[in-house]
Amino acid sequence: MRDEGRKHRHARRRGWGFGRPKIGRTGIVLVLVSVSVTTIYPLLFVIITAVKDRKAYILDRYGLPTSPTLTNFAAAWTNAKVGQYVWNSAIVVVTAVVLSWIVCCMAGYALSHLRFPGRRAAFFAILGSMMIAPQVIIIPLYAMLIKMDLLNEYPGLILVYVTLSAPFGTYLLTSYFKGVPTELVEAAQVDGANHAQILWRVMVPIARPALVTLGIFNFLWMWNELLFALLILQDDSVRTLMVGVANLRGQYTTNIPLLSAGLFLAATPVLMVFMVFQTQLTKGMTLGAVK
């Protein structure tokens, strides 16, 4: 009898043990599905609205399109100058990402493997600058750009992007470079390599995962950035994509299907980058801590 009672108790414990993880997994799946729906639905709504004409949108805003059309995409690309804005954004973002790689690589190598007075203070000063809100420096930054004659010029916005992205990039690469053995650097010095050769021939190839992660983060931020792009590039010929799409909103009335088409065209590069590099992006969130 005692043996049978023990068996029943063990069976009940095993049942509860298997049931709890199943309930937990079901709850997690439901939460993730709910979050996914709230994330995907706005994009689907934008696409559905973009393939409607203006009359169909006014008659039925939330229904499926009865006669889908691509005229809004063509109008946004040509008449609304989205194609020109895409080119402007590509020039600014690609140049800024490359320059941020160069600046952050040099700073990260210096702070991780060079010994000079004030090295630790410089590192903490860079970390401290990450706590300063960019909106605080708008007025002095605007005045400085006017004095340097960089207003409505690509280099003005590029320099701002590189400056604002430098603290995080320097922190990330400094943390990664510290994981590189000092013996490897000393061996390169014994072979006659100077610091520039060590950086570009030894450290940069090793830090390729960190550089890809940094490039993805900077691209996503710079492509979607609106405040400084609106402040610095005010001329229509040099406006970036986000500023151009924001201007599709009229003063009195707005062509919502045209605006939706512009928003989808603006979001397409970001979606492509995220889908291609989502694994690298996920790893990069803990890259500095691991290294």
What is d(CA 280, CA 270) in angstroms, rounded to the nearest whole number? 15
Tokens at residue 222, please?
């710079």
Helix (H), strand (E) at residue 237 = none
- DSSP-derived 3-state class of residue 240: coil
The candidate with the shortest Cα–Cα distance to 55, out of 66, 46, 47, 45, is: 66
Tokens at residue 124, please?
């903490």
Q: What's the domain range around 243?
A: 75-290
| Arithmetic mean of pLDDT, 51-71 | 85
pLDDT at residue number 281: 64
Query: What is the model's pTM?
Result: 0.80
Same domain, 178 and 88: yes
Of the listed ranges 104-108, 133-137, 217-221, the least confidently predicted one is 133-137
Same domain, 39 and 113: no
Residue 63 counted as domain residue: no
Number of separate domains in the chain: 2
> Between these two residues, 71 and 7, which has the higher pLDDT value?
71
Q: What percent of the chain has pLDDT over 90?
A: 27
Residue 136 counted as domain residue: yes
> Which ranges constitute the DSSP H helices of 132-236?
138-147, 154-177, 182-190, 195-198, 204-206, 208-224, 227-232
Residue 179: DSSP 8-state: T
Same domain, 79 and 211: yes
Residue 17 counted as domain residue: yes
Same domain, 32 and 108: no
> 222 phi and psi, to 5 degrees?
-65, -35
